[in-house]
Amino acid sequence: MKKHSVFKKCSAFLAAIFVLSSCNNGSVTTTSDDGRHFYIDEHGIVTTGYEDVHVDPEDTYFQGKHEFKYSKSGKAFVRDGKTTYKLVVPEVVSAQISLAKEEFVHFFKEATGIEIQTITDKNLSFNSSDTYISLGQTNLLKTSGLEIDFNELTDDGCRIITKNNTIFIVGGSDYGTLNSVYDFMHIYFRYEQYSPDVYEIDRNVKNLVLYYFDVTDIPDVRHRAQNYGFLVPGSGNYDQSNYGYRMRNSKGRGFYFMPVYRDLDDYSSPSKVSTNTNTYVPFEVYSGSHPAWFSDLSTTKDPQLCYTAHGNAEEYEALVDLVFKKIKNSMVHFTPATHPHMNVMTFTMEDNHNVCNCEHCREYEKKYGAISSTLITFVNEVARRVDAWQKKEENKAYYRENFQIIYFAYNQFVDAPINIDESGEKAIYTPTDEKVVLEKNTGVYLAIIDRGDFQCDFFNNPIHNGGVNQNMGIKETIDSWGCLTDSTYLWLYQTNFSNYPYFFDSFSFYNQPMYNYISSKGLKMFFAQGQDTSASGSTGTNFNNLKVYLNSKLSWDSTLDQTTLMNRYFKAMYGKAYQEMWNYFGLLRAYTAKILEEHYDTLINNRSIYNQINKREFNSLAGLNSLIAQIDKAQEVNSASSLSEEEKRIYKYNIEAEAFFPLYAKLSLYGAIDLTYQDCVELASRLKDDIVALRLEGMMTREAGGASVLELPNSYL
Based on the number of CB atoms within 10 Å of its own CB, is 422 exposed (0-12), middle (13-18) or buried (19 or more)? Answer: exposed
Distance between CA atoms of residues 383 and 581, nearest Å:
52
Task: Give me the mean pLDDT over the 216-235 stretch.
Answer: 90
Answer whether residue 472 shows pLDDT above 80. Answer: yes
Residue 577 shares a structural domain with residue 533: no
Q: Is the pLDDT of residue 2 over 90?
A: no
Report residue 698's pLDDT band, with 50, 70 and 90 as the boundaries: confident
Tell me whether residue 13 is in a domain.
no
User: In what helix (H) or strand (E) does residue 520 lie, and over which residues does it extend?
Assistant: none
What CA–CA distances, in Å, run from 318 to 102, 289, 322, 333, 385? 52, 12, 6, 22, 13
Which of 38 and 518 is assigned the larger pLDDT?
518
The whole-angstrom separation of Cα 407 and Cα 379 is 8
Task: Judge whether 55 lies within some domain.
Answer: no
Q: Does residue 52 form part of some domain?
A: no
289 domain residue, yes or no: yes
Give the pLDDT band (50/70/90) at residue 231.
Answer: confident
Q: What is the spatial distance between Cα 508 and Cα 454, in angstroms, rounded to a whole number?
A: 8
State the alpha helices, DSSP H only, in 117-193: 139-142, 150-153, 174-189
Residues 206 and 335 in one domain: no
Q: Give the tens place of pLDDT for each residue, 321-337.
A: 999 999 999 999 999 99
CA angle 399, 403, 409 (to 5 degrees): 155
pLDDT in tens, 278-332: 999 999 999 999 999 999 999 999 999 999 999 999 999 999 999 999 999 999 9
The neighbouring-strand residues paired with 38 are 31, 48
- Give the per-residue pLDDT at 52: 64
Statement to judge: residues 511 and 607 lie in one domain: no
d(CA 529, CA 228): 8
pLDDT in tens, 390-408: 999 999 999 999 999 999 9
Q: Is the pLDDT of residue 29 over 90?
A: no
676 and 601 co-located in one domain = yes
Helix (H) or strand (E) holding 91: none
Residue 250: name the closest of 341, 334, 344, 343 by CA: 341
Position 645 scores a pLDDT of 85
Beta carbons within 10 angstroms of residue 299's beta carbon: 12
Task: Single out the residue of 385, 100, 343, 443 nearest to residue 245, CA to CA.
Answer: 100
613-634 pLDDT, tens digit each: 999 999 999 999 999 999 999 9
Same domain, 506 and 595: no
Mean predicted lDDT score pLDDT of the chain: 91
CB of 510 within 8 A of CB of 452?
A: no
Same domain, 163 and 283: no
Q: What percent of the chain has pLDDT over 70?
A: 92
Whether 422 and 330 share a structural domain: yes
pLDDT for residue 682 is more than 90: yes
Same domain, 83 and 183: yes
Distance CA 383, CA 323 (A): 10
Region class of 575: left (phi > 0), else alpha (psi between -120 and 50), else beta: left
Average pLDDT over residues 635-657: 90
The CA-CA-CA angle for residues 543, 549, 553, to 5°, reads 150
547 and 664 in a common domain: no
How buried is residue 678: exposed, middle or buried, by Cβ count under 10 Å (0-12/13-18/19+)? exposed
Res. 46: pLDDT tops 60: no
Give the residue with greater pLDDT, 40 vs 76. 76
Q: What pLDDT score was predicted for residue 39?
A: 41
Cβ(53)–Cβ(564) below 8 Å: yes
| Residue 596 belongs to domain spanning | 572-714
Is residue 37's pLDDT more than 50?
no
| Residues 509 and 582 occupy one common structural domain | no
Q: Report, as an integer, the average pLDDT of 187-198.
A: 91
Same domain, 504 and 625: no
Residue 25, domain member (yes or no): no
Mean pLDDT of 53-81: 94
Q: Amino acid identity, residue 713?
A: P
Distances (CA, A) of 650 to 539, 574, 581: 11, 9, 15
Contact 478, 448 (CB under 8 A): yes
Query: 138 with 276, same domain?
Result: no
**pLDDT number for residue 641:** 84
**Structural domain includes residue 38:** no
pLDDT value at residue 50: 56
DSSP track, 420-475: EE-SSSS-EEEES-GGGSPPTTEEEEEE--SSS-TTS-STT-S---BSTTSB--HH
Domain boundary among 529, 560, 591: 560
pLDDT value of residue 53: 82
- Of 167, 190, 219, the residue that ends a domain is 219
Q: Do 666 and 626 touch, CB atoms closer than 8 A?
A: no
Q: Is there a domain that residue 35 lies in?
A: no
Which H helix or E strand runs over 405? strand 404-410
Domain with residue 128: its CATH number is 3.30.379.10
Q: H helices then E strands: how many in the chain?
A: 22, 22
pLDDT on residue 230 = 86
Q: For the chain, what is the domain count?
A: 3
Query: Which residue, 505, 534, 560, sits at the end of a domain?
Result: 560
Answer yes or no: is 411 within a domain.
yes
